[in-house]
């Protein structure tokens, strides 16, 4: 399935786990899906999250492939192969944590780890029909995760249930305590965003099955937050990986994005930081009134692999996920389908550091129609 990059045999635990190959495992190269890093030195120590997984007596069975340098949204990788989307084989697996989402969808692991700088957990979760959580920014250790410095990136889990997401979070975040089951319906706000009618209809039909009310609300800085997030990731990825553009070994799509990212100025980053403060405050105000915000994970049905070579042309696919990297709020994608059986994600956004409560809300929403 082109999911496994390198085999790993560690631990004898009952849970099988795979980790994205932008996360260090001692003695193994961290290649981040790039030919440009194939000659890098093996990691001298485990990432913090890997140590926690092994300490929990889990078995790490593989590292997973990704969109090169975690700087793309389709998951297409011509060097190591593109992970097949197990449930929707014609469609992209989503990026950048493509292999991690596909491995869970294929039943190859109990949970997997990905990273999310601009939607890279929630997007592939929606594409592959699994659950994916982007924790609150800074909550899960990024020590041993590449790039080493990021203002937006989060390590988080994929799984086939919210309960397994909670188990994974307890392992990788010692402060995570599973919240009590909700005794009454959460107070939800439906964030008004632009999305294809097919996507909106699927979510509305799902919500119609629930005994829940979702109040329509707006976030006036939502689009500005998307663009601000792009500016920050572009600037920071150029700092981290710009030198690799001189090797001739970076794939054309990522190389082009990096060269374009080089044009991002510090002044633009400072403007983005101002947007970050304003947008974060706006979302915080909404979450003072509601338990969670809901909106689609993706604005459209994921495209077919054959139509998805041009990453830049598809950046709008991150339009509904990237703003919450800027604000840092936790967000989970719940897998849904259209009447035609195509994948749709329902994104639920919670209060800062209320990750456990967010999972409880997600379980309530998912259980309401079982």
What structural domains and CATH numbers belong to the chain?
4-367 (3.90.1300.10)
Residues facing 344 on adjacent strands: 336
Output the pLDDT for position 209.
86
- Region 233-248: mean pLDDT is 98
- Predicted local distance difference test score (pLDDT) of residue 66: 98
Q: What is the pLDDT of residue 311?
A: 78
What is the spatial distance between Cα 160 and Cα 46, in angstroms, rounded to a whole number? 26
Predicted TM-score (pTM) of this structure: 0.95
Q: Give the pLDDT score at 5.
A: 43
For residues 122 and 161, what is the distance between their CA atoms, to the nearest angstrom? 14
> Any idea which residues carry the catalytic annotation?
20, 96, 120
Report pLDDT for 368: 65
Do residues 34 and 249 touch, judged by C-beta distance below 8 A?
yes
For helices 222-241 and 252-261, what crossing angle results, to 10°?
A: 100
| Reported confidence tier of residue 212, pLDDT bands at 50, 70, 90 | confident
Question: What's the burial of 370, exposed, middle or buried (CB within 10 Å: 0-12/13-18/19+)?
Answer: exposed
For the chain, what percent of residues have pLDDT higher than 70? Answer: 96
User: What pLDDT does 309 receive?
Assistant: 84
Residue 313: pLDDT band (50, 70, 90) is: confident
pLDDT surpassing 50 at residue 188: yes
Q: Is 356 exposed, middle or buried (0-12, 13-18, 19+ CB in 10 A)?
A: buried
Q: Kindly report, residue by residue over 134-154, the tens digit of the pLDDT.
A: 999 999 999 999 999 999 999
Per-residue confidence (pLDDT) for residue 211, from 0 to 100: 76
Give the span between the Cα atoms of 256 and 244, in whole angstroms.
Answer: 12
**pLDDT of the residue at 8:** 46
Which distant-in-sequence residues (6+ apart) come within 8 Å of 343 by Cβ? 87, 88, 91, 126, 127, 128, 129, 301, 302, 335, 336, 337
pLDDT band at residue 54 using 50, 70 and 90 as cut-offs: very high
């Amino acid at each position: 399935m082109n999911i496994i990059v390198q085999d790993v045999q560690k631990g004898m635990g009952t849970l099988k786990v795979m980790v994205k190959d932008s996360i260090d495992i001692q003695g193994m190269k961290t290649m981040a899906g790039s030919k440009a890093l194939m000659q890098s030195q093996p990691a001298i120590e485990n990432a913090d999250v890997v140590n926690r997984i092994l300490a929990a007596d889990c078995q790490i069975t593989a590292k997973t492939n990704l969109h090169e340098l975690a700087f793309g949204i389709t998951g297409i990788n011509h060097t190591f192969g593109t992970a097949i989307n197990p449930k929707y084989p014609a469609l992209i697996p989503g990026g950048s944590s493509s292999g991690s989402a596909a491995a869970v969808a294929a039943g190859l692991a109990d949970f997997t780890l990905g990273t999310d700088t601009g939607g890279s957990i929630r997007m592939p979760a929606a594409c592959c029909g699994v659950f994916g959580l982007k924790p609150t920014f800074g909550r899960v250790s990024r020590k041993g995760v590449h790039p080493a410095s990021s203002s937006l990136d989060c390590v988080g889990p994929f799984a086939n249930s919210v309960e397994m997401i909670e188990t994974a979070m307890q392992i990788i975040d010692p402060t995570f305590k599973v919240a009590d089951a909700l005794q009454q319906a959460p107070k939800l706000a439906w964030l008004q965003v632009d999305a294809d009618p097919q996507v909106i209809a699927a979510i509305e039909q799902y919500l119609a099955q629930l005994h829940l009310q979702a109040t329509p609300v707006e976030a006036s800085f939502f689009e500005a937050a998307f663009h601000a997030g792009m500016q920050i990731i572009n600037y920071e990825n150029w700092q981290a990986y710009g030198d690799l553009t001189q090797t001739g070994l970076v794939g054309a799509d990522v190389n082009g994005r990096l060269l374009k990212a080089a044009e991002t100025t510090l002044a633009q980053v400072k403007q983005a930081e101002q947007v970050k403060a304003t947008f974060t405050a706006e979302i915080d105000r909404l979450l003072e009134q509601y338990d969670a915000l809901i909106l689609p994970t993706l604005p459209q049905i994921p495209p077919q692999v054959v139509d998805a070579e041009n990453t830049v042309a598809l950046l709008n696919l991150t339009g509904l996920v990237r703003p919450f990297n800027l604000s840092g709020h936790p967000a989970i994608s719940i897998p849904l389908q259209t009447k035609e059986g195509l994948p749709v994600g329902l994104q639920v956004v919670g209060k800062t550091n209320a990750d456990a409560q967010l999972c409880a809300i997600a379980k309530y929403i998912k259980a309401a129609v079982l």
